[in-house]
Amino acid sequence: MAITKLSQPASSQTQILKRFFFDWSTHANIPSGQTLSWYGSLPQIYLNSSVDSLLHKSVNALANASYGQRFNSYQALKDATKLYGESIHMLRDKMHGVIDSSHYYEVMNSIMLLSIYEGLVDESIALEGSWVSHISGGCTLLDLRGQGKIIDSPAEYEISILIFMQMIHIGLVTGQGLSISWESVKELCLPRLPYFYTHTHLIYQSACLCMEWRTALLTYKADRDIAQLSAITSQALALDKQLEEWSTSLPPSSNYTVESALADTQLEWLRPLLNTPWRPLHLHKYSTLSNQILWRFYWMVRTILNQALLFTNSILEQSKATPSPILSQTETESKLISFTDSLCESCLSTFVNIVKEDPQYYRAGAIPSVLGYLTLQVLPTLSLCLEQVDITGIDLSSRREWVARMRHFLRANLGIAKGVTAIPPSLESNIPIQIWGFS
């Protein structure tokens, strides 16, 4: 096994790793919760890895990339690129030899680390390229490993549930479906926690429907296949209703509280998110990061379903064979505004709450990067929806500007360098629903 020669001295690498574990395994006094506990395990994961192994290199690649981008260190970014290249080659070799628990654990952890790496350094905010391939490969390995073995190993479970949830996210945004059946993963979705199990099953079903929906829209010709689009619309409305019912049946510990957002702040770095033509009206308070992500998934999937419903409704209305209206356009538009506003509120809450709770986080440099990365994950859905839809009587430009400010905020303060738009404006799609028309 070749020893990687890095451009920076050992003392600098130690400092980079120290910062990495602060940024990615601490959550500013916010409990992570069961489904995000993997982040808190990163120090032990690294400690248990062999020097210059795939997992060891993957951690160091992400650590150097995170440090390099946040603190503008050319040498750290140079080392990150070298480590990433070596890790990718090792990952390809390891993917063909996953035969036992230790191999599975190393490969799945490396997939997650390298996917985060790509999420940080890739200028495009769209879900594309090797990031998607890595997560898809991880789901294939999950299927081969089997949920029975995974559920018996807390360490394997921590990483497997993250990979699976990322795969659902990709399926929703791309409309390309999932590479794994519900039967092969349902035990990972914690049947003993009915609210989490039901939530995951509903968003899984939604991702599957999005694949069917995208295919129907791609093959649709005027006044043909209306029955299929009508049937899909009815299924989507039923799923949307089930999701709404889910949101009203949660135990208090999984819910969140709402308060009015700040009008201003003395913290210069936080002001760009508050002093804007439009800003979120409320702040949310969640008991754990897992609950926050649970709710964000809820708003994201309902945003995508209702965005697709709005577009499909326009097709049905233009069709000569259209039956009576299946949905209310006004109600659907109102839902979209509610869901996108809730996502914006959740994103803002992350950074306002951490400052309100503990003075040590008054400096932007003290905010853990993982909070920015988890915020980043909602931006593709938010950006695309606000760019692609027109809402009767509402100018969305100020909301689009706020989301752009959030992207800049992540770039300036956390080193998450994302582009201005999710998809180049020069590209046009006949399916303006997320990236269904481009994937």
User: SS in 3 state form for the chain?
Assistant: CCCCCCCCCHHHHHHHHHHHHHHHHCCCCCCCCHHHHHHHCHHHHHHCCCCCCHHHHHHHHHHHHHHHHHHCCHHHHHHHHHHHHHHHHHHHHHHCCCCCHHHHHHHHHHHHHHHHHHHHHCCCCCCCHHHHHHHHHHHHHHHHHCHHHHHCCHHHHHHHHHHHHHHHHHHHHHCCCCCCCHHHCHHHHCCCCHHHHHHHHHHHHHHHHHHHHHHHHHHCCCCCCHHHHHHHHHHHHHHHHHHHHHHCCCCHHHCEEEEECCCCCCCCCCHHHCCCCCCCCEEEEECCHHHHHHHHHHHHHHHHHHHHHHHHHHHHHHCCCCCCCCCCHHHHHHHHHHHHHHHHHHHHHHHHHHHHHCHHHCCHHHCCHHHHHHHHCCHHHHHHHHHHCCECCECCHHHHHHHHHHHHHHHHHHCCCCCCCCCCCCCCCCCCCCCCCCC
Nearest Cα neighbor of 245 from 194, 285, 207 is: 194
Please report which confidence band the pLDDT of residue 324 belongs to, taking 50, 70 and 90 as the band edges: low
pLDDT tens-digit readout, 134-157: 888 889 899 989 999 999 999 999
pLDDT on residue 255 = 94
10 Å CB burial of residue 181 (0-12, 13-18, 19+) is exposed
Please report which confidence band the pLDDT of residue 362 belongs to, taking 50, 70 and 90 as the band edges: confident
8 A C-beta contact, residue 370 and residue 305: no
Q: How far apart are CA 372 and CA 350, in angstroms?
A: 9
pLDDT on residue 34 = 62
pLDDT tens-digit readout, 376-422: 889 989 999 999 999 999 999 999 999 999 999 999 999 886 544 44
pLDDT tens-digit readout, 364-374: 999 999 999 99
Q: How far apart are CA 151 and CA 160, in angstroms?
A: 9
10 Å CB burial of residue 273 (0-12, 13-18, 19+) is buried
Q: How far apart are CA 156 and CA 142, in angstroms?
A: 10
pLDDT on residue 428 = 47
Q: How far apart are CA 195 and CA 246, in angstroms?
A: 7
pLDDT on residue 318 = 83
Max avg pLDDT among 207-211, 273-277, 433-437:
207-211
425 contacts: CB under 8 Å, gap ≥ 6: none
Q: Is residue 425's pLDDT more than 60?
A: no
CA distances from 411 to 80, 164, 260, 364 (A): 18, 27, 26, 12
pTM for this prediction: 0.92
Percent of residues, the chain, with pLDDT higher than 90: 64
CA angle (42 as vertex; 40, 48 as ends), nearest 5: 130
Q: How far apart are CA 39 and CA 47, in angstroms?
A: 14
Max avg pLDDT among 119-123, 191-195, 284-288:
284-288
Nearest Cα neighbor of 16 from 69, 55, 93, 52 is: 69
Residue ranges of the domains in the chain?
A: 10-414
Mean predicted lDDT score pLDDT of the chain: 88
pLDDT tens-digit readout, 164-194: 999 999 999 999 989 899 999 999 998 888 9
Q: How far apart are CA 364 and CA 354, in angstroms?
A: 11
CA angle (145 as vertex; 139, 151 as ends), nearest 5: 95
Please report which confidence band the pLDDT of residue 261 belongs to, taking 50, 70 and 90 as the band edges: confident
Q: Which residue has the higher pLDDT, 239 or 98?
A: 239
